[in-house]
Structure 1
Amino acid sequence: MSKLKISAQEMVAQARARIEEIETKDLIARLGDPDLVVVDIRDVRERQRSGFIPGSVHAPRGMIEFWVDPDSPYHKEVFADPSKTYVFHCASGWRSALTVATLQDMGFDAAHLKEGFSTWEAQGGPVERPDTKKG
């Protein structure tokens, strides 16, 4: 295989240099703000395994550009309010950095959780766990 033009690590660094990054403690402090939408782009299995931020919207990484685009047949209304503050997160902040950079290129204003969900609970962030009991 030939060498890539840019590594994934370089892409993340370039994205982080041009997007807004939110510290975990700052997002925890904003929870409950009706103008805040926390968007979890992790795989559904990650959410099931480690839990999720209460009230967060789950938007799989592979669909996010289509869900935010009002002209897409896959558009979701949760992304239609320009007065809201959207903060995206993944597990460690890499996927969400790339996601937010792409969304900014599209004209969608958003930020991302710098460290992702990886330090959320350790820093005092509330976690909701899916009900794994079967009826």
Structure 2
Amino acid sequence: MTQLKKTAAQMVQEARDRIEEIETPDLIGMVDDPNVVIVDIRDVRERQRTGFIPGSFHAPRGMIEFWVDPDSPYHKDIFAQDGKKFVFHCASGWRSALTVATLQDMGFEAAHLKDGFGSWEKSGGPVEKKD
């Protein structure tokens, strides 16, 4: 196998070094803040299996750049809201770190849940499940 120039772990660390990371207890305290938009980038099957943060918006990681970009035919209006703090999360914080770094490269300011949904559950954050 060809040796990679950079590992996934290195990419995540580089992203974390330059983005805002929110600790789980802090985001639990923001869950009802109308100025905070929590964006779940996990696969729909993860959300179905483990539940999700109440009120979170689901945006699959594979579409996020297109949904955020106002010039994209796939743009979602939720990302055009001024004055909102967008906090992205995945299961453990790796995918969301990479996502937020990419969005910042595009000029979209956001943060991510440092330790992901797994930490949210362990810390007693509210979880909604659908049948």
Q: TM-score normalised to the size of structure 2?
A: 0.99
Report the Cα distance in structure 2 between the residues aligned to 1:112 and 1:122, rounded to whole angstroms.
17
The structural deviation recorded for 1:56 is: 0.1
1:2-81 to structure 2, matched below 5 A, reads 2-81=2-81
Percentage identity across aligned positions? Answer: 74
Q: TM-score normalised to the size of structure 1?
A: 0.96
Report the Cα distance in structure 2 between the residues aligned to 1:95 and 1:37, rounded to whole angstroms.
18
SS in 2 for 1:121: helix
Report the Cα distance in structure 2 between the residues aligned to 1:124 and 1:93, rounded to whole angstroms.
17
Bigger shift: residues 115-124 or 51-60: 115-124
The equivalent of 2:123 in structure 1 is 123
1:104-115 to structure 2, matched below 5 A, reads 104-115=104-115
1:91-110 to structure 2, matched below 5 A, reads 91-110=91-110
Report the Cα distance in structure 1 between the residues aligned to 2:116 and 2:122, rounded to whole angstroms.
12
Report the Cα distance in structure 2 between the residues aligned to 1:3 and 1:93, rounded to whole angstroms.
25
The structural deviation recorded for 1:51 is: 0.2
Which structure shows the bigger proportion of residues in helix conformation? 2
The equivalent of 1:85 in structure 2 is 85
Report the Cα distance in structure 2 between the residues aligned to 1:99 and 1:121, rounded to whole angstroms.
21
Report the Cα distance in structure 1 between the residues aligned to 2:119 and 2:108, rounded to whole angstroms.
26
Gaps of 5+ in 2: none
